[in-house]
C-alpha cells in the first residue's frame, strides 16, 4: 500500500525531480556532442548547466505593449505545474500526497501548462511568440484526448484513480505489456506536454523558438527548466502507471522506481534528436483519425476484463 510521506518529502520530491531533469539534460548534451563530433566527456555532459548562471545574469526582456502580468504568470506556471504534478507519483512505496484522484491531479496539472504556455506566447505581444502559443493549443487538442484515454486504460484496469493502487494492481504483469498502445501514446504525450523533441512545434526553429523566442534571463530559465521537469515527471509517472511501480526483485522499492524512471527518461531523451518536429496541423489529423479510435479500443480491453471478473 502506498503511504503518504512525512512533511520533508515536500522538499525531497522537487529535489529528486530536479535531479532527474539534470540527468536528462546531461544525457541530451552527450547525444548532441556525439552528433556534432565533439568529445563525449563528463565535462560535455555538464556544460549545459552553465545556462543557469548565464540566464540569471542576463537581463530580462522588456517589450513595448507586452502583457507583463499574464506573461510572467504563464512562464511561472509551467515549472510550478510540473513540480505539483510530481507530488502524486509514488517513489517506491511512498508519495508526497497519495490522493484518491491522483491520475486526475496529474492530468489537471498537465492541462495547466496549456494555459501557461499559451499565456507565455501571448504575453510578449510578438507574432512568432503568439503563433507558438497557438501551436501549443493545437498540439494540445491533438495529444490530449489520446493521452487521457491512455491514462484511463491504466485506471480502468486497476479500478482506481489512486496512483498507488494502479502500481499495486499490476502484480508482476506490467500494464505496458498488455496495453502497449496506451503506453506508447502516453510516452508520446509526455514529449508533447514537455514540448521537447518531435513535439517542440510551439517552440519550433521555424518560428524562431516561438513561445521561447522573446524570453531571456530568468523567464527563459523557468520555461526551459519547466520542459525538462515535465519530461522527468512524465517519465516518473509512467512507472506506477505502466511499469509496475516500485515492485521488483532484490532491490528496495525506491531503487526500482528510480531505475525504471531513468530507463524511461533515457528512451525519451534518445528520441528527442531522432525525429523531425511533428507539425501540429498534421498531428491533429493523425491523432483524431488514428490515435483516438485506437486508444478507445485500448480502453475497451481492460474495461471488458474488469466487467468479466
Partner 1 sequence: MDLTALPLRAAAARPHVLLVSTPGGTATRLAAERQLRLQDLPRARTPAEADILLVAGPECRGLRPAIDRLWQSLPAPRSRACADTPGALPEVLARCRAELAASPGRQHAGHRHENPVGGGPDAEFGDGRDEHDGDDEDSGGGHGGHGGHGGHGDSESPWGLPMAGQGEDRDGLLLDQLHVPLGPFLADWPDALTARLTLQGDVVQRLEVEWPPVGGGVGPPFWGEPWARAIAGERVDAGEGARRRAAAHADSLGRLLAVAGWTGAATTARRLRDDLLDGASSAELRPGVRRFARRVGRSRTLHWLTRGAGVLTAGAAQDAGMTGPAARADGDVPARYRTWLAALVRDVDRLADRSPLDPAEEGPRGGGAPDGPWPSAALVRVLPGLLEGAELAAARLVVASLDPDPDELAAVSGEVGAGD
In the complex, least distance from residue 176 CB atom to partner 1, rounded to whole angstroms: 23
Q: Is 70 in the site for partner 1 (CB under 8 A)?
A: no
Nearest to 13 by CA among 242, 190, 229, 210: 229
Question: Which residues are bridge partners to 68 per DSSP?
Answer: none
Q: Is 307 in the site for partner 1 (CB under 8 A)?
A: no
Q: Is 54 in the site for partner 1 (CB under 8 A)?
A: yes
C-alpha to C-alpha distance for 198 and 191, rounded to whole angstroms = 8
Binder to partner 1 among 84, 99, 207, 243 (CB under 8 A)? 207
237 or 268: whose CB is closer to partner 1? 268
Q: Is 248 in the site for partner 1 (CB under 8 A)?
A: no
Binding mask 94-133 for partner 1 (x = CB under 8 A): -------------------------------xxxxxxx--
Question: Which residues are bridge partners to 94 per DSSP?
Answer: 3, 91
Burial letters for 62-95: b for 16+ Cβ neighbours within 10 Å, e otherwise?
Answer: eeeebeeebbbebbbbbbbbbbbbbbbbbbbbbb
Matching residue, cell 502506498: 2
In the complex, least distance from residue 138 CB atom to partner 1, rounded to whole angstroms: 9
Binding mask 133-152 for partner 1 (x = CB under 8 A): -xx-----------------
Nearest to 221 by CA among 18, 39, 75, 46: 75
Matching residue, cell 517506491: 92
In the complex, least distance from residue 213 CB atom to partner 1, rounded to whole angstroms: 5
C-alpha to C-alpha distance for 285 and 212, rounded to whole angstroms = 26
Binding mask 216-235 for partner 1 (x = CB under 8 A): xx--x---------------
132 or 164: whose CB is closer to partner 1? 132
91 or 122: whose CB is closer to partner 1? 122
Amino acid at each position: 500500500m502506498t503511504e503518504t510521506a512525512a512533511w520533508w518529502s515536500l522538499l525531497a520530491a522537487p529535489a529528486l525531480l530536479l535531479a532527474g531533469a539534470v540527468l536528462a539534460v546531461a544525457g541530451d548534451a552527450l547525444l548532441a556532442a556525439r552528433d556534432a563530433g565533439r568529445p563525449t566527456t563528463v565535462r560535455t555532459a555538464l556544460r549545459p548547466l552553465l545556462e543557469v548562471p548565464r540566464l540569471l545574469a542576463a537581463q530580462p526582456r522588456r517589450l513595448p505593449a507586452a502583457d507583463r502580468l499574464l506573461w510572467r504568470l504563464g512562464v511561472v506556471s509551467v515549472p510550478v505545474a510540473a513540480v505539483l504534478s510530481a507530488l502524486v507519483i509514488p517513489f517506491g512505496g511512498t508519495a508526497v500526497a497519495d490522493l484518491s484522484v491522483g491520475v486526475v491531479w496529474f492530468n489537471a496539472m498537465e492541462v495547466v501548462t496549456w494555459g501557461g504556455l499559451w499565456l507565455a506566447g501571448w504575453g510578449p505581444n510578438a507574432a512568432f511568440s503568439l503563433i507558438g502559443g497557438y501551436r501549443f493549443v493545437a498540439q494540445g487538442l491533438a495529444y490530449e484526448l489520446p493521452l487521457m484515454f491512455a491514462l484511463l486504460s491504466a485506471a480502468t484496469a486497476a479500478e482506481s484513480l489512486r496512483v498507488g493502487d494502479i502500481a499495486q494492481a499490476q502484480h508482476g504483469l506490467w500494464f505496458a505489456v498488455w496495453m502497449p498502445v496506451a503506453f506508447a501514446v502516453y510516452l508520446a504525450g509526455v514529449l508533447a506536454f514537455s514540448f521537447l523533441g518531435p513535439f517542440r512545434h510551439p517552440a519550433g526553429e521555424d518560428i524562431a523558438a516561438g513561445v521561447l523566442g522573446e524570453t531571456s534571463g530568468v523567464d527563459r530559465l523557468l520555461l526551459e527548466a519547466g520542459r525538462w521537469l515535465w519530461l522527468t515527471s512524465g517519465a516518473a509517472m509512467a512507472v506506477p502507471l505502466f511499469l509496475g511501480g516500485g515492485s521488483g526483485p532484490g532491490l528496495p522499492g525506491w531503487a526500482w522506481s528510480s531505475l525504471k524512471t531513468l530507463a524511461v527518461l533515457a528512451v525519451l531523451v534518445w528520441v528527442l534528436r531522432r525525429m523531425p518536429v511533428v507539425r501540429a496541423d498534421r498531428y491533429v489529423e493523425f491523432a483524431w483519425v488514428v490515435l483516438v479510435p485506437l486508444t478507445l479500443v485500448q480502453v475497451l480491453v481492460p474495461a471488458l476484463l474488469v466487467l468479466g471478473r
